[in-house]
Amino acid sequence: MTKTEKLSDLNKRWSLKNTCELKTSATQPVFGDGNPNADIVFIGEAPGKSEDKTGKPFVGAAGKFLAEMLQSIKLKREDVYITNIVKYRPPNNRDPKPSEKESCAKWLVEELNLIEPKLIVFLGRHAMHNFFPELIIGDAHGKLIQKKLPGIATEYFLPLYHPAAALYNGGMRETLKKDFAVIAKSIKKLKK
């Protein structure tokens, strides 16, 4: 089986067996998307309205901004892999509840270990807290972390502000741009 086939298998399996309460209100599950052999995986929070409609992560306003940021470091969406900690849209885009995060947690870990990227980038504090609950996004953003976490193959992580938060905030936008440059620098080092 190719990695793409394995991912499709994994998504089918988890979308059937997981018990997330959001399944009843969401239109469909939003699976990860992109290159299954990517060196970089981006993890967001949960699908929004456009994602729920299309079944693809980061295709709305935040996704357009993410594509712009990727372009600033000469990457395309197709070069990386993009997913969320929660695979179903929370009603009215509210924050996912701890139980909703928990019900998708093993799905995400399996997904990450199948891709085995060199670097995992957290888009926002929700994604970061899933792995590093003790960190504060205001301090941790843009700083590469090396840590062996139980059950996770990848050892390098980079927290960033969420693109939706930076979209209409000029200062945060500039910070996010600078932090994206850290991705380019880090991946160059990790690939040596």
CB of 124 to ligand URA, least distance (A): 7
Q: How far apart are CA 116 and CA 103, in angstroms?
A: 21
Comparison of 5 and 137: residue with beta carbon closer to ligand URA? 137
Binding test (CB under 6 A) with ligand URA, winner from 7, 62, 69, 135: 62
Comparison of 29 and 48: residue with beta carbon closer to ligand URA? 48
Find the helix or strand (DSSP H, E) in which 119 lies.
strand 119-123
Q: How far apart are CA 20 and CA 104, in angstroms?
A: 7
Which of these ranges, 13-21, 47-55, 113-121, 141-149, lies near ligand URA under the rule CB under 6 A? 47-55
Q: Which of 1, 5, 73, 80 is nearest to 35 (CA)?
A: 80
Q: How far apart are CA 145 and CA 143, in angstroms?
A: 6
Which of these ranges, 14-22, 43-51, 128-136, 183-191, lies near ligand URA under the rule CB under 6 A? 43-51
Q: How far apart are CA 9 and CA 12, in angstroms?
A: 5
CB of 60 to ligand URA, least distance (A): 6
Reported residue count of the chain is: 192
Q: How many CB atoms lie within 10 A of CB 178?
A: 11
Q: Does 135 bind ligand URA (CB under 6 A)?
A: no
CB of 45 to ligand URA, least distance (A): 4
Which of these ranges, 14-22, 46-54, 129-137, 145-153, lies near ligand URA under the rule CB under 6 A? 46-54
153, two tokens: 């193959």
User: Could you list the residues that contact ligand URA (CB under 6 A)?
Assistant: 44-48, 51, 57-58, 62, 84, 164
